[in-house]
């Protein structure tokens, strides 16, 4: 059997197994059921003004929903891809195609990938396996595939477990990250790194972004399980048991996306894997996804025809629209920013955070922030725990002491005695290369800050800060007046 025919028969198996067998992950869920939106009873917006329009890698799309990479290269894929492309074009959604490795070896497989004529306006993603970069595939082959398809971006799928389970799997993943970096450098189109349903953890999110990928689809666990798909292709009962051991493998998609967003606040991030309805899509966006992909459900709909795919898209986008309305989000940017999605299973124990902003009025000002912190604790609903108060500045301190005006004058004089204004190396701008023109002369403020502190932690008992009778919390301005921020975090229940 040649490599080409083996690839082709595997692809046909994949379609058949996905359509005929139950291949959903077992013992692990996508995790979205742990999160619930807190409704905004008065949304203060008109449903008609809610817009799902957004962009994917700079291209406009009608909604943050895309069809994940699936198939191509076998006769049955031709109709599936054409159906998906036609409807994606009608609804203005991005579309991923399945691995086009077969196209490198067999250009005659092109018809099943030739969807551009049916979808001239939407972003289309070509797809290849990242590990193939160790098996003879390089920038030239990738470029050829991108050109043949007319793709706007290249998805590199990362599927170590699947390759390990396939009898014909390519398991040499040594130095693949380096090769991804070289490929990103060489290609003119953006490269998207994607798992296939086991998730990309934050450490690898950072390394992939450093390698130069333009976007990451965390493609987490809880949906189609590729160990289960491969298990259905196996005849050896021992190997079937090995595959079965991975039915609950992987990082749930909800956790993968929120962790990825935490380490990459500005990156382009997609969520997929176990996305099954519009509520999952809305939650994925609120947890940090710029766009959300779905594979299995679109395959099953495509098998029924264009109407079924269109109905699925309408249902999902309508649920997203109504959800946005009910949480007061007019745009996808609003939904990304919403604070109304809570982890329901952990909410009472979760740390609650806020940032308070102040504008100070003079050097040496002691801003009494005690009441603002007390109000924050009431909002957080924490009865017993600890509140942590932190200045984010090196010339504005946080300190607990007594709010007695004469004493505050004493403090100011003491600080000026210990670190008077002027005479610091830090103030000699000629010796500080690249210093901005408006850099303040503030060596004294830094030195005074060193004597104080950036933060205080205060116990919370019965919903109140456990401060002594005379204790107040101050933000202390040591520099000239300016905007200041303090971070609050309360942990407790």
Ligand X SMILES: Cc1cc2nc3c(=O)[nH]c(=O)nc-3n(C[C@H](O)[C@H](O)[C@H](O)COP(=O)(O)O)c2cc1C
CB 332: neighbour CB atoms within 10 A? 24
Of 31 and 273, nearer to ligand X (C-beta) is 273
CB of 186 to ligand X, least distance (A): 20
Kindly calculate the radius of gyration of the chain based on its CA atoms and give it in whole angstroms.
28
DSSP 463: T
- Pair 274, 249: CB distance under 8 Å: no
| Beta-ladder partners of 56 | 59
Of 68 and 360, nearer to ligand X (C-beta) is 68
- CA–CA gap between residue 439 and residue 435 (Å, rounded): 7
Of 272 and 323, nearer to ligand X (C-beta) is 272
CB of 140 to ligand X, least distance (A): 21
Residues lying near ligand X in the complex (CB under 6 A): 14-15, 18, 68-71, 98-99, 127, 155, 157, 194, 196-197, 219, 223-224, 272-275, 294-296, 299
What does 353-417 look like in DSSP terms, one character per residue?
EEEEEEE--STT-EEE-HHHHHHHHHHHT-SSEEEEEEE--SSEEEEEE---HHHHHHHHHHHHH
CB of 217 to ligand X, least distance (A): 8
Residue number, nearest CB to ligand X? 223
Task: Give backbone dihedrals phi and psi of 51, rounded to 5 degrees, phi first.
Answer: -125, 130
Q: Is residue 346 helix, strand or coil?
A: coil
CB 193: neighbour CB atoms within 10 A? 29
Of 98 and 288, nearer to ligand X (C-beta) is 98
CB of 346 to ligand X, least distance (A): 24
Of 196 and 335, nearer to ligand X (C-beta) is 196
The structure tokens 């919903």 sit at: 463
CB of 10 to ligand X, least distance (A): 10
Q: Is residue 453 helix, strand or coil?
A: coil
| Beta-strand runs (E) in 107-220 | 124-129, 153-157, 191-194, 215-217
Contacts of 234 (CB under 8 A, 6+ apart): 167, 240, 243
- CA–CA gap between residue 444 and residue 393 (Å, rounded): 14
CB of 28 to ligand X, least distance (A): 12
CB of 213 to ligand X, least distance (A): 14
CB of 172 to ligand X, least distance (A): 19
CB of 163 to ligand X, least distance (A): 12
CB of 14 to ligand X, least distance (A): 5
CB of 109 to ligand X, least distance (A): 13
- CA–CA gap between residue 345 and residue 327 (Å, rounded): 20
Of 71 and 448, nearer to ligand X (C-beta) is 71
Which of 338, 351, 370 lies closest to 486 in space, CA to CA? 370
- Pair 272, 293: CB distance under 8 Å: yes
Of 156 and 380, nearer to ligand X (C-beta) is 156
Of 268 and 327, nearer to ligand X (C-beta) is 268
- CA–CA gap between residue 108 and residue 113 (Å, rounded): 10
Of 250 and 443, nearer to ligand X (C-beta) is 250
Of 224 and 391, nearer to ligand X (C-beta) is 224
The tokens describing 382, both together, are: 């924490």
Of 296 and 328, nearer to ligand X (C-beta) is 296
Residue 334: exposure state from Cβ atoms within 10 A (0-12, 13-18, ≥19): middle
Q: Is residue 13 helix, strand or coil?
A: helix
The structure tokens 């934050």 sit at: 202
């Amino acid at each position: 059997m040649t490599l080409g025919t083996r690839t082709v028969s595997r692809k046909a198996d994949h379609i058949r197994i996905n359509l005929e067998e139950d291949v959903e992950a077992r013992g692990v869920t996508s995790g979205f059921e742990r999160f619930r939106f807190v409704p905004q009873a008065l949304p203060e917006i008109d449903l008609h003004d809610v817009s799902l329009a957004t962009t994917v890698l700079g291209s406009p799309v009608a909604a943050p929903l895309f069809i994940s990479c699936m198939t191509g290269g076998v006769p049955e894929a031709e109709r599936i891809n054409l159906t998906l492309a036609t409807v994606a074009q009608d609804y203005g959604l991005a579309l991923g195609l399945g691995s086009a490795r077969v196209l490198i070896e067999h250009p005659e497989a092109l018809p099943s990938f030739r969807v551009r004529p049916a979808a001239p306006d939407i972003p289309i993603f070509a797809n290849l396996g990242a590990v193939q970069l160790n098996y003879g595939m390089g920038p030239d082959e990738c470029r050829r595939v991108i050109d043949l398809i007319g793709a706007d971006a290249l998805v590199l799928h990362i599927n170590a477990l699947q390759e390990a389970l396939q009898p014909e799997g390519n398991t040499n993943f040594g130095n693949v990250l380096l090769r991804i970096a070289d490929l990103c450098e060489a290609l003119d189109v953006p490269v998207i790194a994607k798992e296939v349903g086991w998730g990309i953890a934050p450490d690898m999110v950072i390394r992939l972004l450093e390698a130069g990928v333009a976007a990451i689809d965390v493609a987490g666990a809880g949906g189609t399980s590729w160990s289960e798909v491969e298990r259905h292709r196996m005849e050896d009962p021992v190997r079937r048991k090995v595959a079965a051991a991975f039915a609950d493998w992987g990082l749930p998609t909800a956790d993968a996306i929120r962790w990825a967003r935490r380490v990459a606040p500005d990156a382009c991030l997609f969520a997929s894997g176990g996305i099954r309805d519009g509520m999952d899509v809305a939650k994925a966006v609120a947890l940090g996804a710029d766009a959300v992909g779905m594979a299995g459900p679109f395959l099953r709909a495509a098998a029924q025809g264009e109407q079924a795919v269109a109905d699925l898209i309408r249902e999902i986008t309508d649920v997203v629209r109504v959800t946005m309305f009910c949480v007061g989000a007019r745009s996808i940017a609003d939904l990304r920013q919403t604070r109304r999605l809570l982890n329901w299973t952990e909410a009472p124990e979760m740390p609650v955070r806020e940032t308070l902003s102040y504008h100070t009025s003079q050097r040496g000002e002691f801003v009494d922030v005690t009441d603002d912190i007390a109000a924050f604790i009431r909002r957080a609903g924490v009865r017993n725990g600890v509140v942590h108060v932190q200045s984010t500045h090196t010339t504005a301190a946080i300190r607990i002491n007594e709010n007695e005006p004469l004493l505050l004058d004493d403090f100011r004089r003491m600080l000026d005695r210990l670190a008077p204004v002027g005479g610091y190396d830090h103030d000699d701008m000629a010796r500080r290369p690249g210093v901005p023109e408006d850099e303040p002369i503030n060596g004294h403020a830094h030195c005074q800050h060193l004597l104080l502190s950036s933060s205080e932690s205060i116990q919370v008992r019965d919903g109140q800060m456990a401060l002594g009778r005379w204790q107040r919390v101050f933000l202390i301005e040591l520099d000239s007046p300016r905007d200041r921020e303090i971070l609050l975090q309360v942990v407790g229940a």
